[in-house]
Amino acid sequence: MQSSDEPTYIYLHGFASSPKSAKARYLGDRFAALGLSLKIPDLNQGDFSNLTLTRQIKQVAAEFPPPPSSITLIGSSFGGLTAAWLAQMYPQVQRLILLAPAFQFLQHWLPKLGEEQLQRWQVEVYLPVYHYGEMKKMPLNYRFIEDILEYAEQQLQRAVPTLILHGVDDEVIPIQASRDFAAERPWVKLLEIDSDHALGNVQAEIWEAICQFCQLPSNPG
């Protein structure tokens, strides 16, 4: 059973993903084997089209237990960016584990869309985006872009113990984004691992790093 002084653990899945992702299910199973609960909220909220970073932050904050309970956030990709902002805003967040966090998100995502498609999105309001959880394209409101522009990453300055695991072959968010983030923040530890953005081949390695960082036994019993 989880003791009263045990942190609340919350996992935040990535953009256009779901609580059924491979990492979410794997980590949920590992925590359960230790008798710990890992909350995995559905950040789509049944309304992916109106997703924004602000909405995700508010949704996850609503999951927090009352103070002074401490919270450990594990965030993947866009969920990692969300976790970083939650740690900046809420002193209850005492630890961060970020898996290929989506720092400099628009810098890396928008060039792939191209200027013409971006302008069309702004005019037409909705853009079809492939959703990996639903395995189909779904419309996303342009407000998603406008909202992210309101968040300047240089403001992420609260010294929360942070572990970043990022694949050196990440094709979505280049590892340099995490290198840049860690270089200016001495409370951040970056582990560069031999993987891509999905980190699918290093799940056991991720779990070992989480256990060391959170002082958990890696094996039950």
Average confidence (pLDDT) over 131-137 = 95
Average confidence (pLDDT) over 110-115 = 92
Whole-number percent of the chain with pLDDT over 90: 94
| 8-214 placed in CATH 3.40.47.10 | no
Query: Residue 4 — very low, low, confident or very high, per pLDDT cuts 50/70/90?
Result: low
d(CA 162, CA 139): 34
Tell the burial category of 53 from Cβ atoms under 10 Å away from its Cβ (0-12, 13-18, 19+).
Answer: buried
d(CA 209, CA 213): 6
Query: Residue 218 — very low, low, confident or very high, per pLDDT cuts 50/70/90?
Result: confident
Query: Residue 1 — very low, low, confident or very high, per pLDDT cuts 50/70/90?
Result: very low
Report the mean per-residue pLDDT for the chain: 95
The whole-number pLDDT of residue 38 equals 97
Phi-psi domain of 70 (left: phi exceeds 0; alpha: psi -120 through 50; beta: other): beta
Domain ranges of the chain: 8-214
Q: What are 39's strand-pairing partners? A: 10
The whole-number pLDDT of residue 220 equals 61
How far does Cα 159 stand from its chain's mean position? 18
14, pLDDT greater than 60: yes
The whole-number pLDDT of residue 116 equals 95
pTM of the model: 0.95
The whole-number pLDDT of residue 2 equals 47
Q: Are strands 126-131 and 136-141 parallel, antiparallel or unpaired?
A: antiparallel
Whether the CB-CB separation of 18 and 107 falls below 8 Å is answered with no
Q: What are 163's strand-pairing partners? A: 97, 189
Listed residue (45, 29, 36) closest to 72, CA to CA: 36
Length of the chain: 221
User: 163: which 2 tokens?
Assistant: 């572990």
d(CA 6, CA 97): 17
User: 107: which 2 tokens?
Assistant: 């810098």
Listed residue (203, 181, 154) closest to 80, CA to CA: 181
Average confidence (pLDDT) over 98-118 = 95
Whether the CB-CB separation of 12 and 73 falls below 8 Å is answered with yes
Average confidence (pLDDT) over 145-169 = 98
Whole-number percent of the chain with pLDDT over 70: 96
The whole-number pLDDT of residue 61 equals 98
Average confidence (pLDDT) over 20-36 = 96
The whole-number pLDDT of residue 75 equals 98
